[in-house]
Amino acid sequence: MKAAFLNKIDRSWTLFLDRDGVINHETEGDYVTNWSEFHFYDGVKDAMTFFATIFNRIILVTNQRGVSKGLMDEADLKEIHLNMLGALESHGGRIDRIYYCTDLDDISHNRKPNPGMGLQAKKDFPEIDFNKAIMIGNTMGDMQFGKNIGTYTIFISSNRPAPVMPNSLVDAVYPTLISVAKDIRLHTTQR
């Protein structure tokens, strides 16, 4: 299902992204605990380079309970993110801020699908308008997070079955991040 709202995107829009399963390969039932386990999906660097030209803000929001489970520490997580940012930036992409939640408890305000990380981004970047924002993720929790803060939602079916559509939590489904970028490019160049 393609997204008609993509033709509205301009430099005032914000992109929220999940990490595992969207930007990098997710290890099913396990965690990416160090940089050597982090592998970008094909096309992600190109997608992020394009997104840097079209979105005002690009925000990463990721649940990382592996830290609280003792599978890694916060320094490991920060090293992964530093290396990821370096790889994206050297390719012309960017992420303006990374928000992560290491809490184990699902009721944590900051743990997706709860809105805490999105609200923190809005506090840090007051120009963010949730009505002009997209959340891209690969779980229904990501989709619920997007709806909880009032964004459009795109489900990436990279490693999980796509939800049955229509779905009140999902505005569009794409197989990969690069396929989203190609469709946005198509919509924005046809204006």
Read off the pLDDT of each residue in 43-66 and give the average, rounded to a whole number.
96
Active-site amino acid positions: 18, 20
Q: Which amino acid is at 97?
A: R
Tell me the pLDDT tens digit for each residue of 63-111.
998 889 989 999 999 999 999 999 999 999 999 999 999 998 989 999 9
Query: Above pLDDT 90, what percent of the chain?
Result: 83
Specify the pLDDT at position 190.
61
Block residue for tokens 């999980």? 160
pLDDT value, residue 74: 94
The mean pLDDT value for 148-167 works out to 94
Q: Which helix (H) or strand (E) holds 19?
A: none
**b/e map 70-97, b = 16+ CB within 10 Å:** eebeeebbeebbeebeebbeeeebbbbe
Class of domain 4-189: alpha beta
Rounded CA-CA distance 65/184 in Å is 32
Q: Where are the domains of the chain?
A: 4-189
